[in-house]
Structure 1
Amino acid sequence: MLKQAALLCITLAMLTACASMDKSECLTADWRTIGFEDGAKGKNETAISEYRQDCADHGVTPDLTAYRRGHREGAEQYCTHRNGFAVGRSGGSYQSSCPSALEADFLSGFRDGQQLYQLQRAVNAARSAFDKQQRLLTQLEQDIVVKTELLVEDGLTRDERIALLNEIEDAKHLLIETADYMPELEQNINRAEQALARGEKNFAKYQ
């Protein structure tokens, strides 16, 4: 559980935009710690260029050596096989932040995670398509009921009744077509869910 929580924190941190540094932060910055945090978030070492731009206005130059030392230390925590999987599984991106000695192991897990992410997306897409068709089916049923009730009301001309009848018939035809398509959409969901289940089984080692 602790490992999973740590991986989640790292992944969430990746998604958080970094704020610019003000004068006080530039003057008191611990560049090794900043480098460590960036490395642990999977940010590329080139992120220091952002701090350099921020601090230049305040006459401060970042300590590149300290930053790089901290970044390597942070990257050692981030660039693991298991965390690569967590990042890929969440749909995160890789910013080429891992040292060459760690990159292959990280990318192996990252690609596995990406596979599972794509399988989950396929399930979501299949369910979304089914739900959309189900909403259309419900709407058509409601339209038919409303127009059928309107058809028997007083005050309609012959042409208006004919137009309503035509609209009802069209809705009924579309209703049949929509209903006939539902089993195929259900099968798509089942296939996608089965593929996801196989993927989860294949990558159970990451659990």
Structure 2
Amino acid sequence: MTIKSLTITLILCSTVSACSVMNEQECQAANWSALGYVDGSQGASANQFNERSSACSEYKVHANFNQYQASYQQGLITYCTESHGFFVGSNGNSYLGVCPQSTSALFLRGYHKGQQLFTLKNKVTQAEQALQNEQYDSEYQQQRLTKLKNSIIYDKLTARERQQKLEKIEEINQQPNLIKKKKAQLNRLKKELAKLELVQRD
């Protein structure tokens, strides 16, 4: 199993841990050096070898720790950079604390910047969805408003029923203000995002 094929396999998995349990065919064909490098370059936990070894022991396949560990450390060199930290954070992925002390500070600097970007992008998405929902609801409520007004004019209502309908009319009439606030919030978040992206590019 080559490093290239292993990398493609891991990309197809949603998480590194999802690919940690190896089947018999994978164990028989395992290149422990290649596995170690790919796991390290993907930021997999240091316990990844134990999980692989345990799975392969069921098929009487002995895992080579020395080959795996040497390449795992080489893979970490690729993973533990500031730019890769930013990539991990900006995609909302978790960091498992695998970087050695000599490179962890740089990785975390990029990772925290990436997390800021990821969080702000999520806020923009949520604000867009909230505004869209409010606009859809406003169209429905405008139709309801006509019915409420007609009910007050033509229906025989108790004082309590009339008051409830008036309160609902007032609530509907306030909806444009709510939409305006949500638009302002969305615009503010978009400006923050554009500013953050500009700063991080510099």
- TM-score of the aligned structures, taking structure 2 as reference length: 0.80
Match of 2:4 in 1: none
CA RMSD of aligned residues (A): 3.1
> Where does structure 1 differ by over 6 angstroms across 4 or more consecutive aligned residues?
9-13, 146-151, 162-168
What is the distance in 1 between the residues matched to 2:178 and 2:186? 13
Among candidates 162, 175, 195, match of residue 198 of structure 1: 195
Match of 2:21 in 1: 20
Give yes or no for contact 1:11–1:92 (8 Å, CA) kept in 2.
Answer: no
Residue 174, structure 1, aligned to residue 171, structure 2: yes
Shift of 1:188: 0.9
Residue 133, structure 1, aligned to residue 134, structure 2: yes
Task: Please list, as runs of the form range in 1=range in 2, the aligned pairs for 1:128-167 lying within 5 A after superposition.
Answer: 128-145=129-146, 159=156
Residue 97, structure 1, aligned to residue 98, structure 2: yes
Provide closer, same or farther for how the CA distance between residues 194 and 187 of structure 1 changes in structure 2, counting only shifts above 3 A: same
Give yes or no for contact 1:10–1:40 (8 Å, CA) kept in 2.
Answer: no
Gaps of 5+ in 2: 1-6
Match of 1:84 in 2: 85
Identical positions, percent: 25
What is the distance in 1 between the residues matched to 2:23 and 2:41? 23
Amino acid across the alignment from 1:176: N
Shift of 1:66: 0.8
Shift of 1:144: 3.5
Shift of 1:19: 5.3
What is the distance in 2 between the residues matched to 1:19 and 1:96? 18
Gaps of 5+ in 1: 1-5, 152-157
What is the distance in 2 between the residues matched to 1:142 and 1:19? 56
Residue 183, structure 1, aligned to residue 184, structure 2: no
Give yes or no for contact 2:41–2:77 (8 Å, CA) kept in 1.
Answer: yes
Q: How many residue pairs end up in the alignment?
A: 194
What is the distance in 1 between the residues matched to 2:103 and 2:14? 20
Amino acid across the alignment from 1:82: S
Shift of 1:186: 1.4
